[in-house]
Structure 1
């Protein structure tokens, strides 16, 4: 998952999926749902380092964050905690993989980790301490308002929306 926003016109792209709060633009947006955030770790990391009992204990853990999107390193916790990633990845996929290999705790969207949670490869930590709903959970499809493809885009979104694993 890349955090570079694609310019739809420049890239001749009909539709993009954006996660998080949207900027004002001349694009049309359709809300698709929410993808809740979870603090996760691999079972072997938790076995070695222990499970943090409260948000203030996160500072004693290895935090995996985002190198190219520092705003994603501010976790929406109910109790504010000052966290500085000791390890960073340039994409959500990199952060997910670092977490899977036992490198630390990460805050990731449900759509990225739902299969890992179901298989036990990752475990939720402090799930009741995340402020939800929050803007980082929002998932939208964006596209140009007046395109020749608008009927196809609408049909595609009508088809795909109920099949997405979103809250």
Structure 2
């Protein structure tokens, strides 16, 4: 693994925390219920990027744990550009006088497809994991983080929750 970040266990304070959420689960409470109020950067993927299960009903009950879902999300026009721009934003915040901690929230409707996939991709980038980021088409963005040794935590608030009927 090239340029990987320090191990991100719960006891090590994070430089960057990336949280994926499904907005239809906002009322569920829990540790991350108020994450949008704590976010340094919030990406709302609901309106601009089509839900993968709307593209193919076969994807409805799958999640970002499945390669076909990750491929579908990452092949959506504009997604890679938004994530590369978000990586630049993270760099900007890290360069500031109070660099960390930074919380990035990726959000979609259910939290199982777009938000989770983009959070996984951003984790690879900010961890400087060039090999993993390449799988998302973001190797160049990850190179900028390769020697930073950032502690990056990834949290999927809603990834394993049931599909919401809508």
TM-score higher than 0.5:
no
* Larger proportion of strand: 1
Which is higher, the Rg of structure 1 or of structure 2? 1
TM-score, length-scaled by structure 1: 0.28
* Larger proportion of helix: 2
